[in-house]
A and B are shown apart, each in its own frame.
Chain A
């Protein structure tokens, strides 16, 4: 089955700097890669996703890149703000499985 590895487990950046979180996956059949943000006391919420037919997707200050050959994908947050502090999860799935496999999570802290 699919296995997703996420790094780093914790990340601390200065407000205004960029943050990058990386994930690798094992199943070459995987074709859907979402990112979730979990704020304290809440459930995870989808912030951006990418499918295997594109290499990059951007939505304001967040972007995701996908390298299918190397089987890794990354989340990029630019101009970080205090409200970006949260736990972020990557995930991978193939259409047939209909289930997401999550990475271990990254606790991002934005320092003012």
Chain B
């Protein structure tokens, strides 16, 4: 069982609100990722981090921002949510150099009205 946790699991909010999706892992992994999963199933990388104070934008442009102040914590923030932000957001982590196994959280399903 992977030790990576996302909160909230479900969130319904109104347009214009600021939201933060939390992601924490207890495995000591240096690398963490945020994926956006659309209803068509595809996984799109929106942010990643290779360590504390390191963040990069992913392959899919996103209006969200991330921070990595502690190894175990990688929150994602939307300053002003819009209906187009409605989606499933998945956090993941991995260890070691190079490509390796990703451990995913169970996801945060965001609905913006």
Contact = CB atoms under 8 A, between A and B. Distances in A.
A46 B101 contact: yes
A43 B105 CA distance: 6
A107 B31 CA distance: 28
B43 interface: yes
Interface string B68-83: 0000000000000000
Nearest to A88: B41
Contacts of A34: 101-102
A93 B33 CA distance: 15
Contacts of B48: 99
Contacts of B97: 95, 98
B90 to A, nearest CB: 5
Contacts of A87: 41
B22 interface: no
Nearest to B107: A43
Nearest to B41: A105
A94 B59 CA distance: 16
A1 B40 CA distance: 22
A98 B98 contact: yes
Given A43-B105, A98-B31, A104 B41 contact: yes
Contacts of B101: 34, 46, 49
B88 to A, nearest CB: 9
Nearest to A1: B59
Interface of A: 1, 32, 34, 36, 41-46, 49, 87, 89, 93-102, 104-105, 107
13 contacts: A1-B59, A32-B98, A42-B107, A44-B90, A89-B43, A95-B99, A98-B50, A98-B97, A99-B45, A99-B48, A100-B102, A101-B59, A104-B41
